[in-house]
Chains A and B, each alone.
Chain A
Amino acid sequence: EIVLTQSPDALSLSPGEGATLSCRASQSVGSNYLAWYQQKRGQPPRLLIYGASSRATGIPDRFSGSGSGTDFTLTISRLEPEDFAVYFCQQYVGSPFTFGGGTKVEIK
């Protein structure tokens, strides 16, 4: 099973600032079979990024993903009020599909 470790656990930032979230895999996720989701309180996860760097439909370009192999990053260039949420990464290179523990981006 591939273990995904996200860091930091939480990030306190102000609107307008940038955020950098990390996801590290215990082994390679192949051809970048890595997705990112955003989850707001009381809502299901929302797909943001797939293939490590491709934005899902309707996702603003302030969200970007990068990385390969075992190290991946989600960057939010300028935080909007609606971006304060929990972010999860997920690998889908092989079963069982696994998620990281999440990074909470909170308002400072």
Chain B
Amino acid sequence: LAKTTQPISMDSYEGQEVNITCSHNNIATNDYITWYQQFPSQGPRFIIQGYKTKVTNEVASLFIPADRKSSTLSLPRVSLSDTAVYYCLVGAMNRDDKIIFGKGTRLHILP
């Protein structure tokens, strides 16, 4: 399992674009990059997953450079309700590869 490193916390303001970067220098060839979001008093919520280049959905975009040693979760025009902990996980997409959560990034959106 590739180890991930992400900032412990970030602050931003409403309406801004927020980019959270995750480092995973030891990512394996068959590993995917997955991001979860956890609001206070709730379970984590899967938000996006990718292997290379760019993935976009209704919640976020995920940018992955060619060497795949890092990735950036991009949240467009954040609101107060985006205040949450964001977890970056790296691993193979099979049931034998146990999911391990790191410490995550605590994102605080200010008015």
Query: Is B truly associated with A?
Result: no
Chain A interfacial positions (CB closer than 8 Å to B) = none
